[in-house]
Amino acid sequence: MTSLRRAASGEERSMGLIDCKSIYTHVDCVPTIAQPIGIEARAWMQSTQAKNTSKNQETTMTDPLIRLRKSARRWTLQCGLALLLTGTAHAAYPEHPVTMVSAFPPGGSTDVIGRMLSPRLGEIFKQTFLVENRAGASGNIATDYVVRSAPNGETILVGNNTMTVNAALGVAQNFNLQKDLTPIIAIAETPVALAVSSKLPVNSVQELIAYGKAHPGTLSFSSCGTGTAQHFAGVEFAHRAGIDMVHVPYKGCAPALTDGLSGQVPVIFNAISNISPQLKTGKIKLLAVATRQRVPFHPDVPALAELPGFKDYDFAVWLGFFVTAKTPQPIVDRLRKEFMALAQDKATQQALSDRLFVPLTMDGPALQKQIGDELVKWKKLADEYHITLD
């Protein structure tokens, strides 16, 4: 019989009752009958055999459970160690200088925002934050670069809602805007503004509409380019006002504003941050901002949404930060936390206002929803007004 026993004592061996070859191990124990045994000895042997059989069965039945428990303990230890190491790695973020990729040229809004925030971000994360401009293809070059970057949170896109316009208008892209990027925050917006040349004899939105109706076919408006937020704002304004205006697209906001200042194109839809500094020249007049609310740095200028017929009229260019969608969640969470704290800081908000941006604190999930809503909005307007990029 097989049992787990201590070594037989000298007395047991001398009685010729058992011959075992191992101590506390599985051994074959065979009774060796050296001489006739009595009833008491036989009873003792039978009792011992029964106990050993019972123990052997219990050991056999318990072995798988013991192995399972040991395996579970090993698995728990390994997982705990892996989590510890992962947590340590994420806690060290960022390990290298962080590149903030601006989707547009130096001097543009994404570039200005990135350079304004980089010193503060460097202090917060104890690492260098650099701005790199990768302009071209309406922001698609920079976006594609970030999508394909290493998923370590050390390459951050500074973009705006030109990305949503491109996607809505079917611009060829090597990425899916909603699936391949993770939004961190939208920290500011620059509203589209409605201005006119000082040569045009109007001083309010109502007067502009009245002039357009009295002089059909004589008005034109400039925008920063076909398919831009300024373009959409202009055609939507003309439609709601019930007037005809010819769209004159430019390759950028700066040349569009130049022709507005000269009076060549009398109506201007451009970023408020571009228009505001030019007001002191006396060459243009600011009539309204194309948003739901007034802006803090021009409190006396109405928002178009306040006026009859312009309910929910809202055209602003938000400025946001993104990382590739493959970035680990702990890094995303930390970026969102630190960027939100920075956005809520009064010094940051004042710095944004000084640069004619409207401060925002739109967190990652809210920005993701905003992108989805804009894709629907731009597509609807493009279909309604037959806007294409061809």
Do 146 and 213 reside in the same domain of the chain? no
Do 265 and 340 reside in the same domain of the chain? no
pLDDT of residue 118: 98
Count of structural domains, the chain = 3
pLDDT of residue 194: 98
Provide, rounded to the nearest whole percent, the portion of the chain with pLDDT above 90: 69
Q: Which residues of 90-124 are buried (b: 16+ CB within 10 A; e: fewer)?
A: beebbeeebbbbbbbeeebbbbbbbbbbbebbeee
Instruction: Tell me how far apart the alpha carbons of residues 163 and 146 are, in angstroms, rounded to a whole number.
Output: 13
State the CATH number of the domain containing residue 327.
Answer: 3.40.190.150
Contact of 12 with 18, CB cutoff 8 Å: yes
Instruction: Say whether pLDDT at 45 is over 70.
Output: no
Domain boundaries, position 64 = 2-89
Provide, rounded to the nearest whole percent, the portion of the chain with pLDDT above 70: 76
Instruction: Say whether pLDDT at 124 is over 60.
Output: yes
Tell me if 68 is assigned to some domain.
Answer: yes
CA distances from 116 to 110, 190, 199, 316 (A): 10, 15, 36, 20
Do 80 and 61 reside in the same domain of the chain? yes
Do 113 and 126 reside in the same domain of the chain? yes
219-250 residue pLDDT tens: 999 998 888 999 999 999 999 999 999 999 99
Tell me if 380 is assigned to some domain.
Answer: yes
pLDDT of residue 388: 87
Do 60 and 38 reside in the same domain of the chain? yes
**Mean pLDDT (whole number) for 294-318:** 95
Do 296 and 325 reside in the same domain of the chain? no
Residue among 196, 218, 217 at smallest CA distance from 206: 196
Confidence label for 389 from pLDDT (cuts 50, 70 and 90): confident
312-361 residue pLDDT tens: 999 999 999 999 999 999 999 999 999 999 999 999 999 999 999 999 99
pLDDT of residue 172: 87
Higher pLDDT, 137 or 361: 361
Instruction: Say whether pLDDT at 292 is over 70.
Output: yes
Tell me if 289 is assigned to some domain.
Answer: yes
Torsion, CA 141, CA 229, CA 379, CA 239, rounded to 10:
-160
**Mean pLDDT (whole number) for 145-161:** 97
Instruction: Tell me how far apart the alpha carbons of residues 219 and 245 are, in angstroms, rounded to a whole number.
Output: 5
Contact of 327 with 152, CB cutoff 8 Å: yes
Do 177 and 79 reside in the same domain of the chain? no
Tell me if 315 is assigned to some domain.
Answer: no
Q: Residue 363 corresponds to which tokens in the numbers above?
A: 């967190």
Confidence label for 125 from pLDDT (cuts 50, 70 and 90): very high
Do 299 and 197 reside in the same domain of the chain? yes
Confidence label for 105 from pLDDT (cuts 50, 70 and 90): confident
Ranked by mean pLDDT, the top range of 3-17, 66-80, 352-366 is: 352-366
pTM for the whole structure = 0.73
Do 240 and 300 reside in the same domain of the chain? yes
- Residue ending a domain, among 250, 277, 306, is 306
Instruction: Tell me how far apart the alpha carbons of residues 273 and 115 are, in angstroms, rounded to a whole number.
Output: 16
Tell me if 312 is assigned to some domain.
Answer: no
Tell me if 311 is assigned to some domain.
Answer: no
Do 180 and 288 reside in the same domain of the chain? no
**Mean pLDDT (whole number) for 154-158:** 99
Instruction: Tell me how far apart the alpha carbons of residues 128 and 94 are, in angstroms, rounded to a whole number.
Output: 9
pLDDT of residue 191: 94
State the CATH number of the domain containing residue 277.
Answer: 3.40.190.10
Do 70 and 109 reside in the same domain of the chain? no
**Mean pLDDT (whole number) for 93-117:** 94
Do 56 and 111 reside in the same domain of the chain? no
Angle at 233 between CA 227 and CA 237, to 5 degrees: 135
Q: Tell me the pLDDT of the chain averaged across its residues.
A: 84
257-280 residue pLDDT tens: 999 999 999 999 999 999 999 999
